[in-house]
A and B are shown apart, each in its own frame.
Chain A
Amino acid sequence: MPHDPVILKAQGVVRRFGAFTAVDVERFAIARGAITSLIGPNGAGKSTFFNVLSGFMRPSAGSWSFDSTEISQLGPHRVARLGLVRTFQHTAVAARLTVLENVMLGAQDPAGETLLSALWPARWRPAERRLAERACEVLERFRLAHLRDEPASVLSGGQRKLLEMARALMAEPKLLLLDEPMAGVNPALRDSLLEHIVELNRQGTSVLIIEHDMELVRRISDQVVCMAEGRIIAEGQAAEVAADPAVIEAYLGARRAGVAPARPAPLPPPAEGQAPILAVQDLVAGYLPGVDVLRGCSLELHAGEIVGIFGPNGAGKSTLLKSVFGIARTRAGTIRHESQDITGSPGHRLVARGIGYVPQLENVFAQLTVLENLQTGVFIAPDRWSDGFDYVRGLFPPLQRLLHKRAGDLSGGERQIVALARALMLRPALLLLDEPSAGLSPIMQEQVFEFIAAIRSQGVAVLIVEQNARRCLEICDRGYVLDQGRNAYTGTGAQLLNDERVEHLYLGARPAQDDGESAAGAHPPVFSPIHGAMNVTATARPLPH
């Protein structure tokens, strides 16, 4: 029987959240027997698209078929029964079941799984023993056999990813959807996971994989699809897609031809012996036991500077900000604010010390008016209300007309302004910003970057994490590029803006080997001491770890 060469075909798939369109895919197809990678910057709608295709989320519009069966109306378990099995970015292992039981759960319709058949143990016990043997073989392959009788809660984040894949394998899927299978997996396990994916594919399973590690995507994909802002913007071979200007723009922000970026006025060098306003040393932090997101990361920020943190998804950028603000738990290393150790201090103490923080998501109180939002900004010192209010009204003229609106009714850009203003109400000397331009229209992004430049002109030091690296680097004094939780490159904004290795890090090609011209010896280190070498025009060089 001839097989349709396309295993999954989708048309006009749209998913909206209120006024926001998360996914708007006109046409999408996956070739049978291939490994297809779905890439795109944060917030591109990849996981939402995944959830819709696998039936876990209802679409606003659209239809799609799997293996020539229309499945857009089916619930998630029916989709899975047809052979379209998925894994989760945040693993969905059953923590109190043993590792072995988790794998056995993957089997399709084993004896005794319906209530009536379960009532007669004699009928399912023999089949259950055979199933356990099969599950053990799978565990053996995934190097989890020694943990078979432990509850899955003892597994590390990476082992959970392995377990989830082993479990999905037991279901003998025709198409396996893997949502960031490598995220949080330590490098030692990565290769073995990768082997499993390739081996599975060789045995005939089609694979769709969301993955941020572009190097890995290049190695395994037959086909790469790139999404941005809910749409598919490029398709093809990995190398083609990575070289596509639209893809590069989606990852790094637009390169504005002909516009001379308004450079921030250079700062006077800091006084001799003056401590940096923020100094992070060898920071190690993470969320899951045994998985470090930050693996020894250092940076310095001086009064009045804007410093950007860049790097591919999962590099640890947001975690770095959260560790500084005491939200993510610091496992090793020190954080100093004006030479005082603040490692692990809770956020409210840091606010009192003059540090402001604007989180990426849900950064306004939606039920409160803008005025009330601003009032929460002086919660710990209500007597500073009028001072702070005048200050933020001067910085953000649009606030005036928003004061009595409910924050939940504002556009994304307006919310960002309210969040910035609230964080500045106590006139902090240091502001931490997590992806302030994410999800905003290009015009609003522009406005936000201009506001951030204006904040700096008031003498506030800004530490900013930003997806739109190019635009952000234009306003940055300096930047740090992270890769897998460690410092990779650093330099002034202008240097990083023109450094091809930054692009390569985002899109996965190995940077060209340093040839004679840019050999390490040819140029002095980019900045050491930090301000002394700001005018050096060499390309940034990697920091020694």
Chain B
Amino acid sequence: MDFLELLSLTARAAVSPEAAVLALAAVGLNLHYGYTGLLNFGQAGFMMMGAYGLAIGVLSFDLGFAGALAMALAFAAVLALLMGLPTLRLRADYFAIVSLAVTESLRLLFRSSWMEPVTGGVQGLQRFGDDFFALNPIPPGDYALGPLHWNEAQLFLCAVAWATVVATILFVRMLVASPWGRVIRAIRDNEPGPTSLGKPVFRYKMQSLVLGGLIGALAGVLLALSHQDVNPETYLPTLTFFAYTGLVLGGMGKAWGPVIGVAIFWMIVAATDGLLASASDTLSWLGPQQVSAARFVLLGAGLMLLVMYRPDGLFGKREQRRAA
């Protein structure tokens, strides 16, 4: 594999709709963890709510795209309440465990045969995207920019996805700089402090959980549209951890951190994938199955080094966390 090929591979990965989806999920996590201190291990669950909400809205209720989108967001809000109401008054680790457990339980419920009439069970749901792609104003054809090329549907999805990412980041940035944001950041740093000043901490945490969850649901909607398929196996806990990886790379509690981090993460995945695949052509002991495992071993090691030496992200200041 030559260098140019690798470069175009990574560039395609960085702007792919999947990268946008993961970035959006990470923006929601940034609101949860980076700004409010809520260790949400169930972002995949919010994404799943978004994806299934859209698909079920279109297929079972015939709502059209806008109605189904509203349903996706409503699903996510319900999940946030389900997770948050019993746990957000408790110590932070209870919430972390419950967020993971609720998400996984819901996923198993959705893939069960009992739910099959609505969720499609293990088969999942397909053919719900027509209403969305019908909104596409781009004339049919092939479009290219350097190594990147799309057909009109891919270009539309890509544009919508990245526009959503940018708009969401601007929205979150405005919000965390507001007096409301000051309170959630104070909760992150030291919960008794704002409590002692009369701030209803539980309400703020709940609001942050719902908002970040809605952002996660948008990511799920885009992922479903991009794959044209909703399947329970997509929303494994690893999806949440990929979003966290991007967030850690880009730096938590920074508005643009998630998108930069996810882009880098996705590029590294693509690059190591390409490199290892070409290495496996020459090294007999490195088969294609080992390749996909090996890249995550490398990624994991890299992430550990990052957390050790750059706890505030690739572009963070190292000394910040060491004081006090």
B199 smallest CB distance to A (angstroms) = 6
B186 touches A76 (CB 8 A): no
Question: Residues 189-210 of chain B: 1 if any A CB is under 8 Å from the residue's CB, otherwise 0?
Answer: 1101111111111000001000
Interface hit among A86-94, A262-270, A443-451:
A86-94
- Name A103-152 residues within 8 Å CB distance of B: 104-106, 108, 110-115, 117-119, 121, 124, 128
- Is B32 engaged at the interface, CB distance under 8 Å to the other chain? no
B195 touches A77 (CB 8 A): yes
- Is A39 engaged at the interface, CB distance under 8 Å to the other chain? no
Report chain B residues within 8 Å CB of A96: 185, 188-189, 253
A121 touches B174 (CB 8 A): yes
Give A112's nearest chain B residue, CB to CB.
B179
Given A80-B198, A113-B183, A118-B179, A93–B324 Cβ distance below 8 Å?
Answer: no
Given A77-B195, A88-B196, A118–B189 Cβ distance below 8 Å?
Answer: no
Give A171's nearest chain B residue, CB to CB.
B197
B189 touches A95 (CB 8 A): yes
Report chain A residues within 8 Å CB of B190: 92-95
Report the Cα distance A154→B201, complex, angstroms.
Answer: 25
B185 touches A108 (CB 8 A): no
B183 touches A105 (CB 8 A): yes
Query: Chain B interface residue count: which class?
Result: 20 to 34
Q: Which 10 A-B pairs have the closest CB atoms?
A: A118-B180, A94-B189, A92-B193, A80-B198, A118-B178, A112-B179, A81-B198, A94-B186, A113-B179, A92-B190
Report chain A residues within 8 Å CB of B186: 94, 97, 101-102, 105
Report chain B residues within 8 Å CB of A86: 196
A118 touches B181 (CB 8 A): yes
- Is A56 engaged at the interface, CB distance under 8 Å to the other chain? yes
Report the Cα distance A126→B15, complex, angstroms.
Answer: 39
Given A96-B253, A118-B178, A124-B178, A77–B201 Cβ distance below 8 Å?
Answer: yes
Report the Cα distance A86→B195, complex, angstroms.
Answer: 10
B296 smallest CB distance to A (angstroms) = 32
Report the Cα distance A117→B211, complex, angstroms.
Answer: 15
Report chain A residues within 8 Å CB of B174: 121
Report chain B residues within 8 Å CB of A168: 196-197
B175 touches A153 (CB 8 A): no
Question: Residues 199-215 of chain A: 1 if any B CB is under 8 Å from the residue's CB, otherwise 0?
Answer: 00000000000000000
Report chain A residues within 8 Å CB of B183: 105, 113
A97 touches B197 (CB 8 A): no
A115 touches B180 (CB 8 A): yes
A94 touches B197 (CB 8 A): no
Report the Cα distance A102→B194, complex, angstroms.
Answer: 9
Report the Cα distance A85→B193, complex, angstroms.
Answer: 10
- Is A18 engaged at the interface, CB distance under 8 Å to the other chain? no
B196 touches A87 (CB 8 A): yes
- Name B14-65 residues within 8 Å CB distance of A: none
A288 touches B197 (CB 8 A): no
Partner of B192, one of A92, A105, A115: A92
A124 touches B179 (CB 8 A): yes
Report chain A residues within 8 Å CB of B195: 56, 76-77, 80
Give B200's nearest chain A residue, CB to CB.
A77
- Is B1 engaged at the interface, CB distance under 8 Å to the other chain? no
Other A-B pairs beyond A105-B199, A118-B175, 6, CB < 8 Å: A92-B192, A113-B199, A118-B181, A121-B178, A124-B179, A153-B324
Report the Cα distance A104→B180, complex, angstroms.
Answer: 12
Report chain A residues within 8 Å CB of B181: 118
- Is A427 engaged at the interface, CB distance under 8 Å to the other chain? no
- Is B323 engaged at the interface, CB distance under 8 Å to the other chain? yes
Given A95-B190, A288-B324, A128–B196 Cβ distance below 8 Å?
Answer: no
Report the Cα distance A94→B190, complex, angstroms.
Answer: 6
- Is A273 engaged at the interface, CB distance under 8 Å to the other chain? no
Report chain B residues within 8 Å CB of A288: 324
Report chain B residues within 8 Å CB of A104: 179, 182
A-B contact pairs, 28 of them (CB 8 A): A54-B196, A56-B192, A77-B200, A77-B201, A85-B196, A85-B197, A88-B192, A88-B193, A92-B192, A93-B190, A94-B186, A94-B194, A96-B185, A96-B253, A97-B182, A97-B185, A101-B185, A105-B182, A105-B199, A113-B182, A114-B180, A115-B207, A115-B211, A118-B181, A124-B179, A153-B323, A154-B323, A289-B323
Report chain A residues within 8 Å CB of B193: 88, 92-94, 105, 164, 167
Report chain B residues within 8 Å CB of A153: 320, 323-324
Count chain A residues whose beta carbon lies closer than 8 angstroms to a beta carbon of B.
Answer: 43
Report the Cα distance A128→B195, complex, angstroms.
Answer: 21
Partner of A94, one of B179, B185, B320: B185
Give A157's nearest chain B residue, CB to CB.
B324
Report the Cα distance A94→B196, complex, angstroms.
Answer: 12
Report chain A residues within 8 Å CB of B324: 95, 153, 288-289
Give A56's nearest chain B residue, CB to CB.
B192
Report the Cα distance A86→B183, complex, angstroms.
Answer: 17
B189 touches A105 (CB 8 A): no
Question: Residues 502-525 of chain A: 1 if any B CB is under 8 Å from the residue's CB, otherwise 0?
Answer: 000000000000000000000000
Report chain B residues within 8 Å CB of A171: 197-198
Report the Cα distance A435→B175, complex, angstroms.
Answer: 50
Report chain A residues within 8 Å CB of B189: 93-97
Give B191's nearest chain A residue, CB to CB.
A92
Question: Residues 264-304 of chain A: 1 if any B CB is under 8 Å from the residue's CB, otherwise 0?
Answer: 00000000000000000000000011000000000000000
Report chain A residues within 8 Å CB of B211: 115
Give B321's nearest chain A residue, CB to CB.
A153
A115 smallest CB distance to B (angstroms) = 5
Give B186's nearest chain A residue, CB to CB.
A94
Report chain A residues within 8 Å CB of B182: 97, 101, 104-105, 113
Partner of A111, one of B179, B188, B194, B323: B179
Give A111's nearest chain B residue, CB to CB.
B179
Report chain A residues within 8 Å CB of B185: 94, 96-97, 101
Question: Residues 395-415 of chain A: 1 if any B CB is under 8 Å from the residue's CB, otherwise 0?
Answer: 000000000000000000000
B39 smallest CB distance to A (angstroms) = 16
B179 touches A128 (CB 8 A): yes
Report the Cα distance A106→B182, complex, angstroms.
Answer: 11
Residue of A92, A119, A167 with most partner-chain B CB within 10 A: A92
Partner of B198, one of A77, A94, A101: A77
Question: Residues 55-92 of chain A: 1 if any B CB is under 8 Å from the residue's CB, otherwise 0?
Answer: 01000000000000000000011101100011110001
Give B177's nearest chain A residue, CB to CB.
A121
Report the Cα distance A178→B186, complex, angstroms.
Answer: 20
A470 smallest CB distance to B (angstroms) = 37
Report the Cα distance A237→B16, complex, angstroms.
Answer: 75
Report the Cα distance A241→B198, complex, angstroms.
Answer: 34
A489 smallest CB distance to B (angstroms) = 34
Partner of B197, one of A95, A106, A111, A154: A106
A47 smallest CB distance to B (angstroms) = 13
Report chain B residues within 8 Å CB of A78: 198
Report the Cα distance A93→B175, complex, angstroms.
Answer: 21
